[in-house]
Structure formats: C-alpha cells, structure tokens
Amino acid sequence: MTGIAKSRRTQEERTAQTRLALIEAAIATIHDLGYTGAVTAIISERAGVSRGAMLHHFGTRAALMAEVVRHVFEREMAEYEETRIATGLGDRLDDWPRVLWAVLNRPTGLAVLEILQATRSDAELAALVVPMQEEVEQSALVVMRGAFGGDEILARSVMRLMVWSVRGLSIAERYLPHRQENEAAIRLLSQLIKLAAPDGKMTGLGPFTEGDLD
C-alpha cells in the first residue's frame, strides 16, 4: 500500500513538473518571440516534451496561456512579499510603484501583457483569460484594501493607476531608449502618491464618482 501511494505521489509530481516546464517555456518564448511567435511546437520543444503531451496537459494553446496568467499572478504575490522583506518597502501606499516595478518589469510581466493584448483578436483566449484577470484583480484588491483602506471604487482606481502605469513603463523599458527616465518616472509616481496620501493610506483620497471626470 505504501508503494502504491509513493508511486501515485511520484506521478503527481511528474505531472506538476511537466506543467511547470510548459508554463515557463511559454513565458520564455513569448518574451523572445512575442505572443504570435509562441506556437505550441516551439513551446513544447523548449519544455522538452512532445506537442501531444502539451495538449494532454492543457488541451489548447489558449488554455496554456490562461494558466500562464494564473501562474504569474501567484508567483508575483510571493515576489511582492520577498521584495518587501528585502527592501523594507511596502508598508506605505507610495512604496508600491517601486515594489511593482521590481516585480512587473520582468519577462513574466511582459508575457502576461502580451497575452492580455492577444485577447482582442482571440475569442477563445478572451473567454479564459479575461475572467481570470478579473479574478486576479479582485484578489489583489482585497489585499490592498486590508492594508491601506479605501472603499472598493477608490482602491481599484488607485491600484489600476499604479499597476498599469508600471506595466506601461515596463513596455517602454524594453522598446524605447533613455531607460533611466523610466526609473525616474517610477520615483515621480511614488512622490505624487505621497503628496496625495501623506499618511501612506487611502484615507485622505476620494471618494471619486463618475461625475468627477466630467
């Protein structure tokens, strides 16, 4: 009986290792070749498995890409905590542009961006990824509100301002010259948030409504 249980655990471990190898190969391929170039044949070859094995584990390319989004989010949540411990940043709202920059400005973050952009022209991918991205955002929102307060609309607005500003700068970091200005932009965003929320919380911000944009 012990031998059977050990064999089952080994098979589960092998399955997890294969899935992880495919996810990491997908991230690397998107980073090197772009989303369009990240075809299943190249991804499976990089992962060291057959294309049939890849389809066995994920069914479709879109399903694999959706799992990339989930995997990257889970990894990023761990990396945020690691960055907090390593740098001492994260207890104040204005710390977070720098924390986000340290995590999102990586191949994993760029891979997720390309997958999200691809949902515009791929209905199957959109059906899998868009609800997952909304789930990811909601999970992050709960954590952010717990740390910094704010009602849901305000917290989501602040989070989107920071996350998508950093994601946009991560694109500039890869494709545009004068990269030192990207670091300066991150510092500027932190300073602006500090001016708006000097106590490091969201208590002095908002609330905002749609009418405020008129």
Query: DSSP state, 178?
Result: -
Q: What are phi and psi of 110, to 5 degrees?
A: -65, -35
CATH of 1-59, one of 1.10.10, 2.30.42, 1.10.3210, 1.10.3470: 1.10.10
The CATH number assigned to the domain with range 62-202 reads: 1.10.357
38: alpha, beta or left, given left = phi > 0 and alpha = psi -120 to 50?
beta
Where are the chain's structural domains? 1-59, 62-202
169: tokens are 């700068």
pLDDT tens digit sequence for 9-67? 687 888 889 999 999 999 999 999 999 999 999 999 999 999 888 988 999 999 999 99
pTM for the model: 0.82
Helix (H, G, I), strand (E, B) or coil at 86: helix
pLDDT tens digit sequence for 170-201? 999 888 878 889 999 999 999 999 999 999 99
* Contact by Cβ (8 Å): 122, 39: no
* Contact by Cβ (8 Å): 186, 97: yes
